[in-house]
Amino acid sequence: MTDDSVARMSRKELLIVLVVSLGSFMAGLDATIVNIALPSIAKGFDVPTVHASWVLNAYLIILVSLLLAASKIGDMKGYKEVFLAGFGVFTIGSALCGFAPSVDLLILFRMIQAVGGAIIAALGSVMVTAYLGSLVRGQALGLVAMFTMLGVALGPVLGGFLTSIFSWRFIFYVNIPVGLLAIVMGIICIPLLKPPSPASRLDIPGIILLFVFLSSLIFGLNTITGPEVMTAAIAIGISVIFCAVFLIRQKRASEPLVDLSLFKNRAYSFQNADILILQLGLAGIMFLMPFYLEMVKALPTGTSGALLLALPIGNILTGPISGRISDVIGTKKPIMLGFVVSIIALFLLSTLSVSSHAYEVVMYLFILGAGAGIAYAPLNSAIMGESPEKDRGVTSGLLKMMTNLGSSLGVALTLLVSGFVLGPKMAMVSAHTIKPETLMPAFQSAFFFCMVMQVIGLILIVFVKEKRYDPSCPYEPGV
């Protein structure tokens, strides 16, 4: 093994990764910081919680729908320019959200914020790939993943603190100094590169079709477990139709939003599916676990939130290490190990009972976070490595789209599984009239379902042939 095979990032490379990581930190923070403030937002504007929930839903719909478009624009106009413009839009949107005089304007400003968030999220992985060599890609992506999970972990804590000490408006103001710092650092530290596809054109019909497909899918998933089941079913049906039309459009378009021929590569397809599956398990557990802790174990909300920190902490501790190891030994073994660890953790979670101790929950969540951290950075690195240079922007956006879809599916499917197990008793849950012993089969089944999904993810990666890199060539061709 040569010294190059254990290459370290230079100071310049570290600064580039830091700028990208600040974007990932803001994206992770914003994914969780708003949730805890929703009751205060609803109360402040004197609107129902359902209305206030669109502060979350509108952001998610715009974010997911624009990820591929944002990455394509990066390929056309240049990563540095578009990335920093995204930071600017996100920062301005955050300031507008903080000053919003009504909930409807807050929702509108969140949509503006989401446009910037989509650009930041879409271009993170491709910028790491474009500016850093393949021999340090894994450790760089591990650092980016660590900052993302750090934002996710700090979101509820920081959001609760700012909302209780000041007001909910400060959860948006906190983005402003971070955004300004990242923009200044980006201008100074990120070099200009020629756009990989400057002559390309944006597939506007494809963007519209993708927007309708994803927005109707997310809306349907978010409402299917509520009283408006028929509305949700219609929304999901619409999403299926527009998905089919979108795929037909991508096959026929001269310059498609995403080149479907990429998916003829088994490694590319299976590893993208694994990103979705990995996030599905994490999102499902993070959604259901507070209900277990509060309704079965009768723990206070603050205590439950503190226990949940075990998962992102496990992720933070393993992500950078796994990324660095994958640069040396390849990506497949760390990915497989990560899925195996996640499967063990989810199996243990499925054995929780009414009499289980809090330390068991913390330990199992930590193991799950560690497993996801071991797999995530190598998965990102492997997918970016399978992508041709001209398609790396689209691949980066696709990665984030699969991650967000995994989150939406994780919440929806675990709710469906638990609701199916409880049956008619599900209606009594919200009134807290159902006994903890009766609730447990629903939690155990949902956790076991998440485990089965990770088993599928492990099987997929077994059939992937790993791509090896030449240690004598520290940078990708064309970079």
Q: How confident is the model at residue 108 (pLDDT cuts 50, 70, 90)?
A: very high
For the residues 213-221, what does the mean pLDDT come to?
Answer: 84
Q: How confident is the model at residue 95 (pLDDT cuts 50, 70, 90)?
A: very high
pLDDT of residue 107: 93
Q: How confident is the model at residue 471 (pLDDT cuts 50, 70, 90)?
A: very low
pLDDT of residue 308: 81
Dig out the tokens for 6 from the structure: 């254990």
Q: Give dist(CA 393, CA 436) in Å, integer.
A: 48
Dig out the tokens for 325 from the structure: 């190891």
pLDDT over 90 at 348, yes or no: yes
Q: Give dist(CA 193, CA 131) in Å, integer.
A: 9
Computed over every residue of the chain, the mean pLDDT equals: 82
Task: Please write the tens of the pLDDT for every residue from 12-26.
Answer: 888 888 888 888 888
Q: How confident is the model at residue 4 (pLDDT cuts 50, 70, 90)?
A: very low
Q: How confident is the model at residue 93 (pLDDT cuts 50, 70, 90)?
A: very high
Amino acid, single-letter form, for residue 305 = G
CB 97 within 8 A of CB 110: yes
Q: How confident is the model at residue 468 (pLDDT cuts 50, 70, 90)?
A: low
pLDDT of residue 474: 35
Q: How confident is the model at residue 7 (pLDDT cuts 50, 70, 90)?
A: low
Torsion angle in degrees (nearest 10) through CA of 3, 9, 13, 19? 160
Q: In 3-state terms, what secondary structure has residue 85?
A: helix
Q: Give dist(CA 298, CA 307) in Å, integer.
A: 13
Task: Please write the tens of the pLDDT for every residue from 265-309.
Answer: 888 899 999 999 998 998 888 878 877 887 788 887 667 777 888
- The CATH homologous superfamily to which domain 8-201 belongs is MFS general substrate transporter like domains (1.20.1250.20)
pLDDT of residue 88: 93
pLDDT of residue 478: 30
pLDDT over 50 at 473, yes or no: no
For the residues 345-356, what does the mean pLDDT come to?
Answer: 92
Torsion angle in degrees (nearest 10) through CA of 300, 306, 308, 309? 170
- Which residue in 328, 345, 347 sits closest to 468, CA to CA? 328
pLDDT over 90 at 452, yes or no: yes
For the residues 23-43, what does the mean pLDDT come to?
Answer: 78
Query: Considering the domain 261-466 in this protein, what is its CATH number?
Result: 1.20.1250.20
pLDDT over 60 at 364, yes or no: yes
Q: Which of 89-103, 305-319, 437-451 has the lowest mean pLDDT?
A: 305-319
Torsion angle in degrees (nearest 10) through CA of 397, 285, 419, 460? 60
